[in-house]
Structure 1
């Protein structure tokens, strides 16, 4: 069972410590969320710093809101990060849905899906070393991973699941318990077969966790509520936080049982003692 960690965002100065301790432990991946209009560290910049502080663990955006980024710059940034990390980078990617992020970026929220489709075509072309477009040559450096970093799509809409078959290497599912997540996983597998892809998509599940004293759990619930305030169901999300070793073990086993190749434990409090507690709970 591969177990990754979603990094907390409430104290960016502690992320180097999180990364070094996770790299020395049993965890497989470090994930970092993305927002533009929010008090979070920019994920690609941050993961580049964490790449230099680690040697083994994978680095993943979870998920990057690609439509608010310049496509050419995104191609260069992601290839650079994959190159400098020795091929340890996974680009978790999605369309986003917070209107203020798109207003700040000057991008039409209602065209974000179409824009992401266009971006993926350009990203794949650029990572393969082809010219970026008419009158524009290749954009380097070339990524360490042939054809570009691993791409996982996040989302719930049918179009998001279709993109896995069209452009991706797998799917990152979040905010659902195992039974409904199983349905999404099966839809992703169907999309994979529809587009004649060889092998199988990589399936990753994310669950929100907090282990430790009441202050750690309370802080995690507060941070979850702030992040999901725009949805109108922040309290429901915060109450779904897993806070005991047994709950977390059972969730990891259940997601593995429905076909997850990796389970990402998203930590919403910056208390670094959680690293040891989670390792003890699962390994």
Structure 2
């Protein structure tokens, strides 16, 4: 039973504590979200730091908004992170949807999907050691994982599911209950087979959680409301926050029941004792 933890972003100074405690726990993966115009730590720099503080647990962007990044530099950064972590890195990737992020990065909000498609072609080329482009040699270092780190696409639109089949290793679905996530999982599998990919895509589900005293739950709700304020769906997101051991167990079981290979429990408060509480509830 593979279960990971999404790292809280409200107190970056606590993340080393989270990583070391999680590395000594049964959890498989540590995930970290990405925003540009927001008070969150930059994920690639942060995960590199956490990789150096751990030896077993995997690290994952959840998800990196790739269009905000320069492609050549992103190829080098992700290959370096895969190399330094000993192949423990998963690149969760997506297009994002916040206009302010795109404005700050100087990219066209309406072209971010096409830009991501172009980026994936170049990333795969760079990770394979091929010349980056005409008149440009290879970009190193070579990643530990042959062909580059595992790539999971996040999102809800048909284009995101199509990218799983074209470019990815799997799909990462967030903030939907299992009954709705099941369709996205099946759509990812359909895209996979449409492109004649061998085997099956890796399927990962994410649920928002907080487990602990009222102070932890209140802080998690505040952070969740603040993060999703742009969306117009704050009440829905807050209502979906799982706050009891029974809710979390039942939801994880339901995700595994629809074919999830891993369930990521995204924590919205920096109370690191949640690691032990969640481990006791699930393992």
Do the two structures share a fold, i.e. TM-score over 0.5?
yes
1:235 offset after TM fit, Å? 2.2
| Paired residue secondary structure (1:152) | strand
* 1:70-109 C-alpha deviation (Å, 9 max, x unpaired): 0000000000000000000000000000000000000000
Alignment match, 2:280 = 280
| Paired residue secondary structure (2:277) | helix
Q: Is the 8 A contact 1:221 1:239 kept in 2?
A: no
1:240 offset after TM fit, Å? 1.3
Distance 2:236 2:259 in 1: 26
Alignment match, 2:215 = 215
| Stretches of structure 2 lacking an aligned partner (at least 5 in a row) | none
| Paired residue secondary structure (1:246) | helix
**RMSD between aligned residues:** 0.4
**1:109 equivalent in alignment to 2:109:** yes
| Paired residue secondary structure (2:208) | strand
Distance 2:230 2:88 in 1: 33
Distance 1:42 1:153 in 2: 19
Alignment match, 2:226 = 226
Distance 2:194 2:201 in 1: 12
* 1:148-203 C-alpha deviation (Å, 9 max, x unpaired): 00000000000000000000000000010001100000000000000000000000
**1:85 equivalent in alignment to 2:79:** no
1:238 offset after TM fit, Å? 1.3
Alignment of 1:56-95 (within 5 A): 56-95=56-95
Q: Is the 8 A contact 1:219 1:269 kept in 2?
A: yes
| Paired residue secondary structure (2:171) | strand
Alignment of 1:126-205 (within 5 A): 126-205=126-205
Alignment match, 1:23 = 23
Alignment of 1:27-46 (within 5 A): 27-46=27-46
1:236 offset after TM fit, Å? 1.9
Q: Is the 8 A contact 2:90 2:151 kept in 1?
A: yes
TM-score (norm 2): 1.00
Distance 1:244 1:182 in 2: 23
Distance 1:4 1:100 in 2: 30
Distance 1:225 1:141 in 2: 40
